[in-house]
Amino acid sequence: MGRIIGNFLTGFVLPLRGGLFLLRHRRLLALATVPLVLNLLLYAAAIAFVIRYYAVWFAWLLPQPQAWYLLVGYEVLRLLTFLLIFAAFLFSFVFVGTAVAAPFLEVLSARVEHLLQDQRGIQPVRAQPWLVELVRALGHALLLLLIWVVTFPLSFLPGIGPPLWLLESCLLLAYNFAAFALVKLVQAFRV
């Protein structure tokens, strides 16, 4: 039981150790911050765009009623639609963030592995070309997005929807991590 708790607590410390590793190797810090800055700029621009034009778009979908008693329902519906769009932004951040950050994180991972292998005297693993890694990462992100979009309506089936959604989420996570492990395994045997 103590080992399980120790491993659990180690999970909280690992991001701090990673941050300290980046601070010790400042050349890697740029590779770690560029995807974050790109994602933040992309989403700030998208949110500003939606906020700027949301009233116009909503008026195209549903014109504002003239009667005062319908105006309350209109405003509530408008707020709920905005919250739904905001929730979609939050969920899409995972997929878009993965696609935008993938090439940088692949290079970052290769450089960290190279640094750690040099410290231990191990022969470094040869990295694939950047464009090949970009296409592979984008393909995985788009495949995950497609699977999610196709299976999302399952969550609305009465009774069996939530268990099917849970199963689908588990399968997506398994695919995501299995694909990562498979790529690392293939790279290890290429040497």
What does the domain layout of the chain look like in residue ranges? 26-190
Rounded to 5 degrees, φ, ψ at 159 are 85, -60
- Confidence (pLDDT) at 18: 83
148 confidence band (pLDDT: 50, 70, 90): confident
Distance (Å) of CA 34 to CA 57, 97, 103, 131:
33, 12, 11, 17
Exposure class string for 24-60: b at 16+ Cβ within 10 A, else e: eeeebeebbebbeeebeeebeeeeeeeeeeeeeebee
Amino acid at 20: L
- Show the tokens assigned to 47: 């949110």
pLDDT for the residue numbered 127: 53
Cβ–Cβ < 8 Å for 101, 39:
yes
Encode pLDDT of 84-127 as tens digits. Answer: 888 888 777 777 777 777 777 777 887 888 888 776 655 555 55
Dump pLDDT digits (tens) for 46-63: 889 888 988 888 888 888
Cα–Cα distance, 79 to 82 (Å, whole number): 5
End-to-end CA distance of the chain: 39
Cβ(35)–Cβ(101) below 8 Å: yes
What is d(CA 61, CA 57) in angstroms, rounded to the nearest whole number?
7
Contacts of 154 (CB under 8 A, 6+ apart): 161, 164, 165, 168
Residue 62's φ and ψ, nearest 5 degrees, are -145, 105
Report which residue type is found at 8. Answer: F
Q: 96: closest CA among 41, 151, 141?
A: 141
The pLDDT of residue 183: 59
Contact 28, 112 (CB under 8 A): yes
C-alpha to C-alpha distance for 97 and 43, rounded to whole angstroms: 10
